[in-house]
């Protein structure tokens, strides 16, 4: 299975924010869209990613001052990305080795989607379910 198969299965909707966005607004977006990460974009250029994990770490570090922070204060700028043609096994290795749960997907250096470990598990289970159903016929 390839990354492109997961994007076909889940869709390529990108939830995003900007570096100057107030952190509370970004948290509201994460909750509203029920996602674990937002791409940080500026003029259609990828600037970073902000995840639930980034925010939880910041709560411990900044306590009540977290209300004063912007997305740019917490976002991960050095991104680990993949291509649509990459294998799921490769992406699982990347996620495991780098302790990350979300990987932006690029095609011709353009952001086309993002996959999470949850997306991978769901796609694998869906494929297994379809295979098992075929075996029963």
Task: Return the CATH number at 87.
Answer: 3.10.580.10
What would the pLDDT profile of 42-62 be if each residue is shown by its tens digit?
998 999 999 999 999 999 999
DSSP single-letter state for residue 50: E
Answer with the residue of higher pLDDT: 87 or 129: 87
Burial label for 108, CB within 10 Å (0-12, 13-18, 19+), is exposed
Total domains, the chain: 1
Q: Which of 8, 35, 32 is nearest to 102 (CA)?
A: 35
Number of residues assigned to the chain: 137
- Which residue segment(s) compose the domain that 126 sits in? 3-136
pTM of the model: 0.88
| Helix 52-62 with 23-33: angle, nearest 10 deg | 140
Q: Which of 90, 83, 87 is nearest to 106 (CA)?
A: 83
How much is the pLDDT for 40?
98
């Amino acid at each position: 299975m390839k990354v492109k198969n997961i994007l076909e299965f889940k869709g390529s909707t990108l939830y995003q924010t900007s570096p100057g966005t107030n952190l509370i607004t970004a948290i509201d977006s994460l909750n509203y869209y029920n996602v674990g990460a937002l791409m940080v974009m500026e003029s259609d250029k990828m600037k970073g990613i902000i995840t639930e994990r980034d925010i939880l770490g910041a709560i411990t570090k900044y306590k009540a001052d977290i209300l004063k922070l912007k997305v740019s204060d917490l976002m991960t700028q050095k991104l680990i990305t993949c291509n649509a043609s990459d294998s799921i096994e490769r992406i699982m290795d990347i996620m495991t080795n780098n302790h990350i749960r979300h990987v932006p997907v690029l095609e011709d250096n353009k952001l086309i989607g993002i996959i999470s470990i949850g997306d991978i598990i769901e796609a694998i289970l869906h494929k297994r379910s379809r295979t098992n159903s075929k075996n029963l016929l």
